[in-house]
Amino acid sequence: MPFVSRNVLADEEALQELLRFGPRQLPVVSRGDKWVNGQSLKTVAEFLGIDIGALKHLPAPELVRRIDLIIDGASRFFAQFPEERIGDLVPGRPRSYAQLTWHLFNVVDAFLEHEQGIRLMHDAYNRIPPAGTTRADILAYGADVRRRLAQWWEGAKDRPAILTEAANVYYGGVTRHEFLERTTWHSGQHSRQLMWLLEDKCGVKPDRPLGPEMWQGLPMPEKVWDDEKGLS
């Protein structure tokens, strides 16, 4: 289905349209004067009248394995960036390379917070590292998130039924398993962006890059960056 991807940070017309609709969170999928939150693929498909049939999800052990590899890979890639470049901004976003890496780890951290009983709110994905945070601090944060992910899975792997329960997330309508899947491809997409920034913007070949097999079976975007006004 043809669509137009719009960046409200760089497209004033798109921003005004969003404000007219009323939501204060992204992503949003609109058609005419109607819109839905774009976080849930099922919700978007129903809104657009697309029959996607029964969704097949990768098993939880595989999702956890991939998140672990994503965190490990992101840590490797971030360590490779020249120190003078980690404050550079990513294309079309007011977010630095360092903040992107921290955000990737925070995406997984937000899932772990949910598993501790904290409802996922939209602001969880908008958090930024404290002022003065260094590369070493961000890498330590990633290592801590990775450790806590393994710890969570050690306690959850023998209770698969819990992942069929509804997730307590702001966009609603998903199970904990689906939230885990979304955490996988959300963090995975940012790891693809880190690899692209490292090689394309800094001329450094990523150490043990994550290959296409990492994204098989996940609803990943085809492109690393959206084709939006303001992106280049």
Least confident segment among 51-65, 87-101, 132-146: 51-65
Domain 60-215 CATH assignment equals 1.20.120.450: yes
User: Considering the chain, what is the average pLDDT of its residues?
Assistant: 87
* Per-residue pLDDT at 66: 99
Residue range(s) in the chain whose domain bears CATH number 1.20.120.450: 60-215
Cα gap 23→52, rounded to integer Å? 26
Higher pLDDT: 152 or 28? It is: 152
Q: How far from 87 is each of 76, 129, 155, 192, 216, CA to CA, in Å?
A: 17, 13, 38, 18, 32
* Per-residue pLDDT at 222: 86
Least confident segment among 11-25, 27-41, 116-130: 11-25
Unique residue bearing structure tokens 């840590």: 75
pLDDT at residue 12 is higher than 70: no
159-184 pLDDT, tens digit per residue, is 889 899 999 999 888 999 999 999 99
* Per-residue pLDDT at 210: 98
- According to the per-residue pLDDT averaged within each range, which of 21-35, 43-57, 149-163, 178-192 is highest? 178-192
pLDDT-based confidence at 19, cuts 50/70/90?
low
Report the 10 Å Cβ neighbour count for 114: 19
205-217 pLDDT, tens digit per residue, is 999 999 999 999 9
* Per-residue pLDDT at 230: 42
86-126 pLDDT, tens digit per residue, is 999 999 889 999 999 999 999 999 999 999 999 999 999 99
Provide the strand spans (E) within the chain. Answer: 28-31, 34-37
What pTM, to 2 d.p., does this model score?
0.80
* Per-residue pLDDT at 100: 99
Q: Which residues contact 230 (CB under 8 A, 6 or more apart)?
A: 7, 9, 10, 11, 92
Query: Percentage of the chain surpassing pLDDT 90?
Result: 66
Closest-CA residue to 219 (of 102, 104, 52): 52
pLDDT at residue 48 is higher than 80: no
Q: Which residues contact 112 (CB under 8 A, 6 or more apart)?
A: 145, 148, 149, 152
Instruction: Give the amino acid at 138.
Output: I
pLDDT-based confidence at 229, cuts 50/70/90?
very low
pLDDT at residue 223 is higher than 50: yes
Closest-CA residue to 113 (of 176, 24, 165, 50): 176
Q: 116 and 171 in contact (C-beta within 8 Å)? A: no
Cα gap 73→79, rounded to integer Å? 10
